[in-house]
Structure 1
């Protein structure tokens, strides 16, 4: 208990070696592309965390229909024809002598189960590209492409030639609305050969085929939805209304009144042209600029010049505030690439992950992995970095709001399953709060204690009664469930977790998996936090919380090392099905702060064993960040940096997006990779509760000069 209480101490932001020239460092890592990209290349994006617009080489969505995604834009497929949604009640599994219905696909209701997995799903709000001589501009018509993302200012500048004529497109997002602004310059605009084209896809039926959508939506069901220009069209504004069954919204357009545009659609358009519109200059000019604002409401957007000013101001403010790490004086040959990843990751999380009221999905706002839904077990990896990088406002925009939104459905879920408190879902969205059925989804455990970890990050940033009260309801419901879920084993006298259960690595037999080491330790940590939280509020502490916390089964060991779950003997280290991903044991002294039940000596020996058996080619996803954190915690600084700089194995693409790797089958980006990487960097640069010295996660061999400012210590 004392170790948990210790982390309540406020850790002040670190400031090392004075002020860093942030603009100079950031601008060194602008992204430049000089070759045409294809559909396997991550697009560059502009956006604000709730909205993002991905671009091809034209700075628009001309020859590649990349996505325009928003936090509010969701859609439901047509209802299944074989079964009613209300027929689904989960799948019963024997749980300590009683049948409990878990969120698992029902083999007797395959269509209903798949509908619940895939709905609601994010929609692509529309494509904005270029049209040349009456047809959508093709990649084969483009030569001499050059595109640069100005990271400091959040501006994408694209130049290329079409028929030998130069074209320049400047693309910017807006931090204050779901808008994107363009400025297009070319003599082809003057001649009338180059126009702006807008087109609207229709969401496909989300079977397992569409588990990962690089291009969200299809263009071959024009009769299933409607679009129309909403009169009147003013001198400087126009509006397109898009209706897809229950999802309706506007594309609000605005241009300078001194350079008016005409929004039009071919008369009697049919087939693929049904939802295709053009923007063209009202009078002869070589330059076009306009704003496109996507919204459920008809609005007047900000002008392109206004968005230009406030976009640059917003990005400059983002870079000048919060934490920063400067490795540019380091002589280590790996420092340059590490710095590039630090800078570009900060850009990408601002565009893809700075949402309001919800956690980002795995692929951010670039494409639809998992139908656009987020994973509750990943919210720490997605968002903890906001706190340690001194950007608490983005953390507070999500927490505890996402839990408060999901609380009613989570309370209902626990009650139906025969437990108290709130059982948090695994894969979900905030519209319905439904826990999407899945073989793993219904049995995963480690998302349940997350509120306590996140609450501690919030309290570290602001140790006030306001923070305590703000999180109290969520913590209470969480602890009530955790104490209720733990089962009293009369034979051992301990409280057990599972079976059935899945742990972090999702690779153990669920009906045999009891007392997963990491989950046991995390359960104890979270209950201790809840008890301390109540004590600080001078509230009654439920006896059940204390009883379960003090009598949880210990994390299992075999041969003097921690084992993944109870019942394994030493031979498990030769079982490839387990050792191809033993990260849960690393997490005992990785992301998890010191707890009363984790022996640091045993944890260190276990980490050393994992270092021996976990092959580089098997480490994927957020495995590297947690390995780096663990290595720093146990004093293995060289090992910590190795994990962040194993560039041959842990790849970030040319735009700085983390690639998941392994057998996940998911297209980039993998946002928990970028965000987890940032968390590990802050951990190693600023330290953690109890760490001492400068940059305690980096080797002191003279090759690393780690300057940082504005960071907070981790828990």
Structure 2
């Protein structure tokens, strides 16, 4: 086939960007290599698609460590409390709010078990373990030697090599971009001898009767009588299914293999067994003899429906094509020409974070939980106050299709329950939950959950981000219903203080850092400024559409109480504090909300830029770097960039000793806002924000940084 020069040029551009960035070469440079066996404190390597992830040990499977297989649809409810408490008796806890009793979603001391059940249910389940079996038993870590494992980032492939009793084993693992499926190819002479087989096992969710933060291995294997599994034959010899029933949660594992490499599925124990191995299955070659090929190839698709899953070859082809497309499109940052000693590690984190968010965060219709699809953090539920940190980077990195797959659908799904919540509390519009899932939309009644506020304006921030990337009437109309419900609540919630003539926010309320006294937290600085920004933006939205301006929005917005300023001329966390609050360890140990007033929060009349700059300077002086956690460093870096301090921004982003990214690029314990917030901050530092001037405002002009970039968009 003959290529014209223009066609050749376009083909080259698919690999080398317009600015001469060799994307494939740079991504491949940071492939993950492992040559030692991992333990339960290690970030597992993953394959997946944002809605589904399969997590592996050194075998490329879940063999000697029961890492998880998680999906966005797979949930389960524990048994109801056995002490006579009824879930329907829970109605929240009343707190006096500006002279009236309002019921908030916090634990009811009179219904402790019912409250805990509502916090922990539904909970995300582990769909099953797929590992290797040797000589009739689960392959032991002790007999594995010479492990070499590589995660090929560009193609989304995990290649694992190791030896068992001196015999080489090769396992190739790939996820499917289109379904909740994973494909394996296993090669070894141990297969033809019948010594090496595949093992499938199914855990049962534990009873979540106590508060916990991380369930590393999701599910347990010692409640065999509580659930059932059975083999269901498929429509052809190369298709077989395992049906799993867990009370009200039922699903299939649809197994499929090539016709020329036939396999057979057998059960270790008879149905009804109560042994720990009662739900364990073996997948092996159809005939075990020396002439049988020394290879197994199969796919496992997890689905609520029994169906013919994709062939392994189909998954392999579209997985590679999907990952190549992901890396070629969207934004990219190249620091390789930099002489700064920290550029190499910063570049590694940029590349690996993009892999992590694609596997864990590119969901359909919902935001990821804080630990992504790696393990269960907070019962697998996502946190609505974190959706900006999880997902804003999709827009600034030029990958808006993943943003659009989540928003505004997430808010539309939660809108009926949020409207009902606000109405039951005596307010208009939609009061968005804090910790939730999309099936019920309930706000899990944690001690903080029912009183946190800063998730309420998020839909307007996210809508404005979407409009900045696609300023069309389609965008305006798509978001209008959600924005209207949000702004109606913001205006309704604000309380007219006749003494000051201003509208107050709270109490009771918890601030961003969840360390403020809720009954005293009136006019939290970040929340009041965010309220003003959101209402002003909602009014602008209506003007763009040519719609009438709601009177309540127009009345409340300019009269909102401003962020409080203490006697030192600096912003205080909430109203009523004097400058002595800086000596209050409970508040000053994490004052990130004040750093967010100018940076994360776009420009608003509520915030005085000079006061915000001086306050940010004080925050960065007093906030002990050892205490900065989670998304704190991205917030600090964004604030420093906005305040014209790029050297300080880089200090926060390259504090590698304190801010750990492990060999896989994870932020232990698995914390996806760490990776996603990191990417959002990098984009902010590279391309700036609306109204900023010049390139790379977050990198010092000291000659040690050379930042090539393409496809990034400015933040708000």
Pair 1:246-2:255 in alignment: no
Given that 2:76 and 2:248 are in contact with CA atoms closer than 8 Å, whether structure 1 keeps it comes out as: yes
Q: Tell me what 1:301 maps to.
A: 309
1:561 match: secondary structure: coil
Q: Tell me what 1:153 maps to.
A: 155
Given that 1:517 and 1:556 are in contact with CA atoms closer than 8 Å, whether structure 2 keeps it comes out as: yes
Q: How does 1:88-487 map to 2 (within 5 A)?
A: 88-208=90-210, 210-232=212-234, 234-266=236-268, 268=270, 270=273, 271-283=275-287, 284-487=292-495
Range 75-84 or range 342-351, more displaced? 75-84
Given that 1:414 and 1:423 are in contact with CA atoms closer than 8 Å, whether structure 2 keeps it comes out as: yes
Structure 1 residue 28 displacement after superposition: 0.6
Q: Distance in 1 between matches of 2:29 and 2:257?
A: 33
Given that 2:269 and 2:280 are in contact with CA atoms closer than 8 Å, whether structure 1 keeps it comes out as: no
Pair 1:530-2:538 in alignment: yes
- Aligned residue pairs total 693
Give per-residue Cα distances to partners, 1:230-256, cap 9 Å, x unaligned.
135732111110011111000001111
Q: Distance in 1 between matches of 2:278 and 2:636?
A: 52
Pair 1:581-2:590 in alignment: yes
Structure 1 residue 358 displacement after superposition: 0.3
Q: Tell me what 1:598 maps to.
A: 607
Change (3 A) 1:232 1:302: closer
Given that 1:17 and 1:707 are in contact with CA atoms closer than 8 Å, whether structure 2 keeps it comes out as: no
Range 377-386 or range 460-469, more displaced? 460-469
Q: Distance in 2 between matches of 1:209 and 1:187?
A: 48
Q: Tell me what 1:611 maps to.
A: 620
Q: Distance in 1 between matches of 2:278 and 2:269?
A: 10
Pair 1:672-2:673 in alignment: yes
Q: Distance in 1 between matches of 2:165 and 2:211?
A: 39
Change (3 A) 1:16 1:655: closer
Given that 1:50 and 1:71 are in contact with CA atoms closer than 8 Å, whether structure 2 keeps it comes out as: yes
Structure 1 residue 210 displacement after superposition: 4.6
Give per-residue Cα distances to partners, 1:437-491, cap 9 Å, x unaligned.
0111010010000011000011011111111111111000001111010000011
Give per-residue Cα distances to partners, 1:639-694, cap 9 Å, x unaligned.
011110000111111110123xxxxxxxx210000000000000101111111112
Q: How does 1:41-56 map to 2 (within 5 A)?
A: 41-56=42-57
1:198 match: secondary structure: strand
1:557 match: secondary structure: coil
Given that 1:159 and 1:167 are in contact with CA atoms closer than 8 Å, whether structure 2 keeps it comes out as: yes
Structure 1 residue 310 displacement after superposition: 1.0
Q: Distance in 1 between matches of 2:622 and 2:344?
A: 29
Give per-residue Cα distances to partners, 1:80-116, cap 9 Å, x unaligned.
1231111000000010000100000001101100000
Structure 1 residue 16 displacement after superposition: 9.5
Range 296-305 or range 231-240, more displaced? 231-240
TM-score by length of 1: 0.96
Q: Distance in 2 between matches of 1:471 and 1:318?
A: 26
Give per-residue Cα distances to partners, 1:137-177, cap 9 Å, x unaligned.
11111111111100111000111111111111000001000
Given that 2:269 and 2:279 are in contact with CA atoms closer than 8 Å, whether structure 1 keeps it comes out as: no
Q: Tell me what 1:4 maps to.
A: none
Given that 1:16 and 1:708 are in contact with CA atoms closer than 8 Å, whether structure 2 keeps it comes out as: no
Q: Tell me what 2:514 maps to.
A: 506
Q: Tell me what 1:40 maps to.
A: 41
Give per-residue Cα distances to partners, 1:559-617, cap 9 Å, x unaligned.
11111000010111111111110000000002101101111110110011111100110
Between 1 and 2, higher relative CO (CA 8 Å, sep ≥ 6) is seen in 1
1:562 match: secondary structure: coil
Q: Distance in 2 between matches of 1:403 and 1:22?
A: 35
Q: Tell me what 1:62 maps to.
A: 63
Q: Distance in 1 between matches of 2:51 and 2:551?
A: 42
Given that 1:241 and 1:251 are in contact with CA atoms closer than 8 Å, whether structure 2 keeps it comes out as: yes
Given that 1:84 and 1:112 are in contact with CA atoms closer than 8 Å, whether structure 2 keeps it comes out as: yes
Q: Distance in 1 between matches of 2:403 and 2:234?
A: 42
Given that 1:157 and 1:168 are in contact with CA atoms closer than 8 Å, whether structure 2 keeps it comes out as: yes
Give per-residue Cα distances to partners, 1:347-398, cap 9 Å, x unaligned.
0000000000000000000000000000000000000000000000000000
Q: Distance in 1 between matches of 2:146 and 2:69?
A: 26
Q: Distance in 1 between matches of 2:685 and 2:486?
A: 30
Given that 1:377 and 1:447 are in contact with CA atoms closer than 8 Å, whether structure 2 keeps it comes out as: yes
Q: Tell me what 2:75 maps to.
A: 74
Query: Deviation above 3 Å: which 4+ runs of structure 1?
Result: none
2:174 match: secondary structure: strand
Structure 1 residue 302 displacement after superposition: 1.3
2:597 match: secondary structure: helix
2:54 match: secondary structure: strand
Given that 2:67 and 2:129 are in contact with CA atoms closer than 8 Å, whether structure 1 keeps it comes out as: yes
Change (3 A) 1:632 1:527: same
Given that 1:16 and 1:707 are in contact with CA atoms closer than 8 Å, whether structure 2 keeps it comes out as: no
Q: CA RMSD in A?
A: 1.1
1:442 match: secondary structure: helix
Range 224-233 or range 273-282, more displaced? 224-233
Given that 1:201 and 1:217 are in contact with CA atoms closer than 8 Å, whether structure 2 keeps it comes out as: yes
Given that 2:31 and 2:152 are in contact with CA atoms closer than 8 Å, whether structure 1 keeps it comes out as: yes
Given that 2:269 and 2:277 are in contact with CA atoms closer than 8 Å, whether structure 1 keeps it comes out as: no
Range 136-145 or range 123-132, more displaced? 136-145
Structure 1 residue 273 displacement after superposition: 2.0
Q: Distance in 2 between matches of 1:17 and 1:520?
A: 43
Q: Distance in 1 between matches of 2:19 and 2:226?
A: 60
1:59 match: secondary structure: coil
2:715 match: secondary structure: coil
Where in structure 1 are there 5+ consecutive unaligned residues? 1-14, 660-667
Where in structure 2 are there 5+ consecutive unaligned residues? 1-15
2:21 match: secondary structure: coil
Q: Tell me what 1:6 maps to.
A: none
